[in-house]
């Protein structure tokens, strides 16, 4: 096995990057507009550093705007920030 080979059967595509629709002429454009790792909402500690070390510190809430992450608010602590991130996933599940 080579240094850079991916584990798994060679007949399966990589799961790291979703496949593009070849019938859509704007598929390459849309692929570049997806957020990294398909994360549309995230939170970061206000003062930087590792987020799990100081759970009582405030967080900056960020949403993907099809180009970059934009700050949309703050949360008083880690628990509130995690609830805000999960809120989008719950809305998507209820709409399906």
80: pLDDT confidence band, cut at 50, 70 and 90? very high
The string of DSSP letters for 31-89 reads HHTSPGGG--EEEEETT-S-TTT-TTS-EEEEEE-SSSEEEEEEESSHHHHHHHHHHHH
Residue-level length of the chain: 96
pLDDT tens for 41-74 read 999 998 888 777 888 999 999 998 888 899 999 9
Mind listing the pLDDT tens digit for each residue in 7-52?
666 665 555 555 667 788 877 777 667 777 778 899 999 888 877 7
Q: How many Å separate Cα 29 from the centre of its chain?
A: 18
- At 70 the pLDDT is 94
């Amino acid at each position: 096995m080579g240094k850079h080979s991916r584990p798994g059967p060679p007949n399966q595509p990589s799961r790291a990057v979703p496949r593009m629709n070849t019938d859509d002429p704007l598929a390459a454009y849309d692929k570049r507009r997806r957020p990294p790792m398909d994360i549309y909402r995230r939170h970061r500690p206000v003062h930087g550093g590792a987020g799990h070390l100081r759970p009582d510190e405030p967080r900056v809430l960020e949403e993907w705007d099809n180009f970059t992450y934009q700050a949309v608010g703050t949360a008083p602590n880690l628990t509130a920030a995690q609830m805000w991130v999960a809120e989008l996933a719950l809305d998507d599940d209820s709409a399906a």
